[in-house]
Amino acid sequence: MNRPIGVIDSGVGGLTVARELMRQLPKEKLIYVGDTLRCPYGPRPKEEVIQFTREMVDFLLEKNIKMLVIACNTATAFTLEMLRNELDIPVVGVIQPGARAAIKTSQNQHIGVIGTEGTISSQAYPQALKHINPSIHVNDLACPRFVPLVEMGVLEGEDAYQVVAESLVPMKEQNHIDTLILGCTHYPLLSSTIQEVMGNDIKIISSGDETAREVSVLLEYYDTFSNGYHPPQHEFYATGDRALFENIANAWFDSPVEHIEIITLGT
């Protein structure tokens, strides 16, 4: 089935998931929507996140997508079950895959989670982790300064290190954790700095790899793998600054990103 897979995010963070989807599923066409104009979603009220997410989904449904990937932890926490009930296509979030990866990785069952205010307040990760293993110990921390840093393209260097180091002080004090979930898809863009601050003994988990595996399983289950013979022409849409989106995308992907368009969502 040569219909595309839709991927949505509050901004550029979901590109970390999109890259892994491209790597694992090279025949599948992706249509990516990043709401860069209204990013970040983390501090926004739940109702607003739901509204903005619906607007991105409606845009993608017009593109006849065969599956939706919510590549935003805040949107996953607030809308995943709702969208699964409303849509007649498979809907994949990033929280459950990230939780599963962390449990497989942790040796001492002490896991840290960092994310936006919305994701952390939702308690979606502790619930997902404890649903799998009730004996898991979870320490979570909101890092509201990370997403604006990434959206500005400040991914490395002294400024990035200072923000990350200051933000992670409470998590570093939890010196019994051995695994840290990057509970926001923007955070892998800061992963080298986060690893430097936390130290090499801490295993860093981002959900892109596991999310792509889940997408692959669902494509097989529903027999909807693309059977195209030519490399897919992915499409990227953003609601904010095109040049900034393009710069970050080109820095993150192995080849230049084409077909970037600026769209308007809502009224």
Would the annotation count 185 as a binding residue?
Answer: yes
Please, is 185 exposed, middle or buried when counting C-beta atoms within 10 Å of its C-beta (0-12, 13-18, 19+)? buried
Would the annotation count 110 as a binding residue?
Answer: no
Kind plus residue range of the DSSP H or E element containing 220: helix 208-221
H helical segments located in 62-141: 73-86, 95-105, 117-122, 124-132
Supply φ then ψ for residue 133, to 5 degrees.
Answer: -140, 100
Can you tell me the distance from the alpha carbon of 166 to that of 193, in angstroms, rounded to the nearest whole number? 12
Would the annotation count 178 as a binding residue?
Answer: no
CB neighbour burial string for 5-26, b if at least 16 within 10 angstroms, e if fewer: bbbbbbbbbbbbbbbbbbeebe
Would the annotation count 108 as a binding residue?
Answer: no
Would the annotation count 133 as a binding residue?
Answer: no
Kind plus residue range of the DSSP H or E element containing 31: strand 30-34
Radius of gyration over every alpha carbon of the chain, rounded to an integer in angstroms = 17
Supply φ then ψ for residue 140, to 5 degrees.
Answer: -120, 155
Among residues 18, 70, 71, 72, the one annotated as catalytic is 72
Would the annotation count 32 as a binding residue?
Answer: no
Whether the CB-CB separation of 84 and 193 falls below 8 Å is answered with: no
Would the annotation count 135 as a binding residue?
Answer: no
Which among 79, 190, 208, 202 is positioned nearest to 143, based on CA atoms?
Answer: 190
Cα atoms in the Cβ-side hemisphere of radius 13 Å centred on 115: 32
184 is catalytic: yes
Among residues 160, 180, 182, 184, the one annotated as catalytic is 184
Q: Which three-class secondary structure state does DSSP give residue 182?
A: strand
Would the annotation count 186 as a binding residue?
Answer: yes
143 is catalytic: no
Q: Which three-class secondary structure state does DSSP give residue 76?
A: helix
- Extract the annotated binding site: 9-10, 41-42, 73-74, 185-186
Residues with a known catalytic role:
72, 184
Binding residues for substrate: 9-10, 41-42, 73-74, 185-186
